[in-house]
Amino acid sequence: MTSHTGTAADAGTWRLGDLTVNRLGFGAMRLTGSAAFDLGAPSDRERSITVLRRAVELGVDHIDTAAFYFSALRSANELINRALAPYPDDLVIATKVWPGRDPSGRWWWATPEQLRGQVEENLRQLGRDHLDVVNLRIPKRRATGSIAGHFGALAALRQAGLIRHLGISNATPEHLAEAQAIAPVVCVQNPYGVGAPAGDQEFLRDCGERGVAFVPFFAIAGAGREAGAGATHDDRVLAVARAHGATPAQVLLAWTLHQGPHVLAIPGTGDPAHLADNVAAGALRLSAEEVARLSATG
């Protein structure tokens, strides 16, 4: 495939509540520096702004961000505000709360009562009077615990008009059931990619049956997580990439989108060329045999 053609619309659309988005979106984490959450290496401000504006030009209408995405001198939310405000009517900005970082970069976790402050921080930085989607980012220590207190607090903020739609992140099927009993859930945002265990694949399918979007993060980075993808890739990924004249990252994104019509991708980059490649992946169609080969574990 030609690496720098196509728009985000090539991947098709899905609805987050009453908001329709292209399934190929953009993650803002890498806009702030070469390494996520690195207070020592700020990104090039103008290049980050260029990437955001170019993403919208390429049809991206779903941007994932957080107030805790910041490095020395750079804040993802403030870059989004600077680059894109006044915002296009069809642009959906999703953020996440529960974790936070103080000015020194140290992490902290909000109580239910502190979530309003985190929501207002996102509103202030983005220059919005409401947030389109807020994901409750669940800490690993709550993997088997209740999220009712925190999700209920977000549901109240939704009722108050500060939030339009709610999602959950780092979630389990039990979390989803608990949250849906409190308020509508439009998306589940979890780590997912080639090699994901069977339980994660089952949860992805269950979300589709419930009409809930599944939004994988680290679809390209995989085990590299915040550090990004490594230089080596699975031989199967490389073989499919060669067959299509595509990059391994494009194949990983295409495979992700092939997992179901409710699956959204939010690859992030601070590089305009990588952005174009990522968006072009929305037009890459893999055969059923290629999807199955990449899905096989072991």
Is 253 in contact with 277 (CB distance < 8 Å)?
Answer: no
Is 2 among the domain residues? Answer: no
- Give CA 117 to chain center in angstroms: 22
Q: Which CATH number fits the domain that encloses residue 264? A: 3.20.20.100
Residue 160 DSSP symbol: T
Is 235 among the domain residues? Answer: yes
Mean pLDDT is lowest, of 17-21, 36-40, 210-214, for 36-40
pLDDT tier at 227 (50, 70, 90 boundaries)? very low
Is 126 among the domain residues? Answer: yes
Is 89 among the domain residues? Answer: yes
Residues marked as catalytic: 69
Q: What range does the domain containing 282 cover?
A: 8-295
Is 185 among the domain residues? Answer: yes
The string of pLDDT tens digits covering residues 165-181 is: 999 999 999 999 999 99
* CA gap 270, 34 in Å, rounded: 8
Is 3 among the domain residues? Answer: no
pLDDT tier at 2 (50, 70, 90 boundaries)? very low
What residues have CB less than 8 Å from 14, skipping those under 6 apart?
20, 21, 23, 213, 261, 262, 264
Whether the full predicted model's pTM is greater than 0.85, yes or no, is yes
> Percent of the chain scored above 70 by pLDDT?
90
Measured between alpha carbons, how far is residue 131 from residues 7, 24, 53, 215, 247 in Å? 25, 20, 20, 18, 34
- The reported pLDDT for the residue numbered 291 is 95
Is 224 among the domain residues? Answer: yes
- Give CA 196 to chain center in angstroms: 17
Average pLDDT, the chain: 92
* CA gap 213, 198 in Å, rounded: 18
Structural domain tally of the chain? 1
The string of pLDDT tens digits covering residues 73-99 is: 899 999 999 999 999 999 999 999 999
The string of pLDDT tens digits covering residues 127-147 is: 999 999 999 999 999 999 999
The string of pLDDT tens digits covering residues 244-273 is: 999 999 999 999 999 999 999 999 999 999
Is 75 among the domain residues? Answer: yes
Q: What is the mean pLDDT of residues 146-161?
A: 98
Mean pLDDT is lowest, of 25-39, 75-89, 113-127, for 25-39
